Amino acid sequence: MAKKPSFLNDLNERQQKAATHTDGPLLIVAGAGSGKTRVLTYRIAYLIEQGKAHPGEILALTFTNKAAREMKERIQKLIGDEAKKLWMGTFHSVFSKILRFEAEKIGFTSNYSIYDTDDSQNAIKQILRENNYDPKEIQPRTIHRRISDAKNQLILPGQYKERFVHSTLDDITARIYGMYVERLKHNNAMDFDDLLIKPIQLFSEHEDVLEKYQDRYKYILIDEYQDTNHAQYKVTNMLAKKYKNLCVVGDDAQSIYSFRGADITNILNFKEDYENAVEIPLEQNYRSTKAILKAADSIIKQNTGQLEKTLWTDNDTGETITVLDNYDERDEANRVANYINELKMRKGYQFNDFAILYRTNYQSRVFEETLRRKGITYQLVGGLSFYQRKEIKDVLAYLTLLSNPDDDTNLLRIINEPSRGIGNKSLHDLTSTARQTGQSLWRILKNVEDANLYKPAENSVKEFVDMIQELKADLKNNVSLTDVTKKLLKKSGYMKSLVEENSPKSMTRRENIIELQNAISYFEKNTKNPKLSSFLQEISLITDTDKYDEDKPAVTLMTVHAAKGLEFPVVFVVGLEEELFPVGSRNYEDVNIEEERRLFYVAITRAEDQLFFSHCRSRYKYGEEKPMMRSRFLDEVSSDVVRTETGSTINQNKSRFSNGSSDSEYDGNTKVEYDWKKPLYNKNNRNSNQGTTIHYDNPDEDPFQVGAKVEHSVFGPGKIINRTGHGERTKVVVFFKDRGRKTLMLRVAKLSVIG
């Protein structure tokens, strides 16, 4: 047996056990700050050192490019340049590379375009208009969200119509879904969801291809497994089926992405899905003080259906958590800024030691204004991405056309940008011809003399086609991407139009385009065999977190969702008010309170040394000042570690959101009444034909709790993963293996408990 590597001495006993368990399925339940990245990197290094696998036989999947880079750098320090041969990256980046190699087997070419959300919505908008729907009434964003949800549940267009057509919008979605899939194929394009579901199609239709990648990836590791959706679960299950060496790392307490399809049951049911799976909990926290950890533990323990673990730490007890009680959002921002300046002077913190975390992006505005006024530098993570700005999207559309001229969506974006005399009627006629003949718009443009256009428009089209052909020829003749981009900007007249506009806005756009040119130049100088398609793929997969610079001397502003995986010495969790955090309405019927609580847990565990909770008594909404009530989470957190600014304990009311309660809380100057209906209990006739009877003499007898396995007459077997409301208004979220996640009104759902 090979000698035990000395680097394992850096790990504690549990971490060593996880890193050296090499054969068979393994679930590492890694609590916040427990060193999961270290365990993953050391496990990969151990596999290579022990000769269990060559670097090219290991596949490591993460959720951010930043995490993948960090892991690869750490592994390289342990084992040297062998780490460069690892297949490591986000799900989307890894599978997009596989699809580049295998695209022709499923009817695409290797230079396919990758559509981001904006591109997808533009394609849907075009389809809506072509079918005489008004995009202002039937919003492309809504249709795209529904299609994305269906794709992530592996529901195809034909199946969508069978399962979901219950309303006019369902019917329209079903129609547009099928057309959208055809349009993507026609454009030789895939959207983000396709990067996960097309590999499943590939592996299902070509067993030889599946076996090739099963043999290539003998060991598979997945980070943040609690954030995987059904498609990610399915594709990794297919790859791991032969050798079963699947190691997943995650924390069910940090599952916060159900809104984009993440399915917490993937981690909760791992040991059921993989026979003989070993579970190893990592419970020692290296990040936070005892006080912060106690606050986090007191919150998360109130959720149900969790994997067993209790975090502990050898760190100092630390300071108690301070609650800031503010008059309004401006007062809140001002006081947070004052605390930052005070702590910086008194304790020697730097600006990049501070993070301000909020529930929704719009909350950043007041903090930005206040920090600027007080001369505090900051970086905003989230909001409008650099690569989503109009001028950047325009230039990228030109470049995409050079790589994939059959991409109608990007072609239509820039054929008359800047204006070159090709009017809407001409474009309509050209597009109609393309649709009727089944050809790409580019092919119609190349033969524009057959289209009977107005002569000046025809000449403009010919000039446009000649320009694109010339630039494509330059690329083929190995002219650098940097020079081709410069030529494109000149010949298209794009930069000239911004110069002629001569406004502050056009100046900013020119600066942004220059920055894009810098990015292209950097890519070209630092990439082996740089190709345009590779550059377009790389930037299409950039996430908000990838743009976070931890070394920048600036306070970080970001949502709690964006902060996941990061840590800061001092954290301010702001906007802790009902309707904001937890988000939702005062009816609380549609609030996934357990996920909101997990989100609060994530916010707490970002802090290393000092933590502040902040709430407002009033807040401006829709132009009016509205009274606010502090978040229920401030009543749920352990009172032992939370203090007001004066050092006194906070006045908590832990029962104000209990089922059947009728409470009032005097918060500030506003008295808010809560009059909850008491649930009716009657244990007669539990399985009526009208639905799922939920009336019991004793609520403890109610079998429809989180974790219960149930059967539905249409959807089949499933598992309850969340429950909200009470009495007649009780709703449950059920994950059905074959149908995905469904939210059901319990009294009419026709569920029965099984198993």
Under DSSP, is residue 447 helix (H, G, I), strand (E, B) or coil? coil
Chain centroid to CA 72: how far? 22
Both tokens of 392, joined, read 């950047």
Burial of 685 by CB count in 10 Å (0-12 exposed, 13-18 middle, 19+ buried)?
Answer: exposed
Q: How many CB atoms within 10 Å of residue 731?
A: 18
Q: Which tokens is 744 given? A: 């059901």
Of 60, 42, 58, 54, nearest in space to 4 by CA = 42
By C-alpha distance, which of 385, 360, 348, 375 is closest to 557?
360
What pTM was computed for the model?
0.78
Residue 528 among known ligand-binding residues? no
482 is an active site residue: no
Which helix or strand (DSSP H or E) is residue 368 part of?
helix 364-373
718 annotated ligand-binding residue = no
- Round to whole Å and give the CA distance between 378 and 366: 13
Q: What is the pLDDT of residue 739?
A: 67
Q: HSE on the CB side for 373, CA within 13 Å?
A: 11
> Which regions of 251-318 does DSSP assign to beta strands (E)?
278-282
- CA-CA distance, 50 to 82, in Å (whole number)? 14
Per annotation, catalytic residue among 41, 90, 232, 254: 254
The pLDDT assigned to 588 comes to: 46
Report the candidate in 144, 145, 146 with the shortest Cα–Cα distance to residue 160.
Answer: 146
The tally of CA atoms less than 13 A away on the side-chain side of residue 239 is 28
- Write down the pLDDT at residue 526: 85
pLDDT value of residue 587: 46
Which of 14, 66, 606, 723 is the catalytic position?
Answer: 606
Residues 16, 20, 22, 37: which is the catalytic one? 37
Report the distance separating Cα 434 and Cα 428, nearest Å: 10
pLDDT, position 687: 37
Is 31 annotated in a binding site? The answer is yes
In sequence order, the β-bridge partners of residue 28 are 249, 280
What pLDDT does 591 receive? 62
Annotated catalytic residue, options 14, 15, 36, 609: 36
* Active site (annotated) includes residue 254: yes
Q: Which two three-digit tokens encode residue 289?
A: 């003080």
Terminal alpha carbon distance of the chain? 45
Residues 6+ apart with CB under 8 A from 90: 61, 62, 63, 64, 65, 68, 541, 543
pLDDT at 666: 32
Return the amino acid letter for 239: L
**Residue 696 neighbours by CB distance under 10 Å:** 17
Return the pLDDT at 441: 92
User: What is the pLDDT at residue 508?
Assistant: 87
Reply yes or no on whether 224 is catalytic. Answer: yes
Give CA–CA dist 201/209, Å, rounded: 11
275 belongs to the catalytic site = no
Number of C-alpha atoms within 13 angstroms, CB side, residue 519?
A: 17
- Burial of residue 625 (CB within 10 Å: 0-12, 13-18, 19+) is exposed
For 288, 493, 499, 504, 590, the CA distances from 496, given in Å and listed in that order, are 54, 5, 5, 15, 51
Tokens of 402: 């050079």
Residue 36 known to bind ligand: yes
pLDDT of residue 300: 93
Report residue 115: phi and psi, to 5°. -90, 130
Please tell me whether residue 166 adopts helix, strand or coil conformation: coil
Q: Which residues of the chain have pLDDT under 70?
A: 1-2, 165, 383-385, 543-547, 585-591, 622, 656-701, 726-728, 738-739, 755
The span from the CA of 97 to the CA of 202, in Å, is: 13
Give me 231's structure tokens.
């498609």
Is 639 within any annotated ligand binding site? Answer: no
**What secondary structure does DSSP assign to 82-94, as a single string?**
GGGG-EEEEHHHH
Of the residues 223, 251, 297, 667, which is catalytic?
223
Active site residue 564: no
User: Does residue 509 have an active-site annotation?
Assistant: no
pLDDT at 684: 35
Active-site residue identified among 224, 263, 595, 596: 224
Q: Which tokens go with 407?
A: 């991409």
Task: For residue 286, give the DSSP letter.
Answer: S
CA dihedral 116, 117, 123, 125 (to 10 degrees): -160
Q: Is 37 annotated as a binding residue?
A: yes
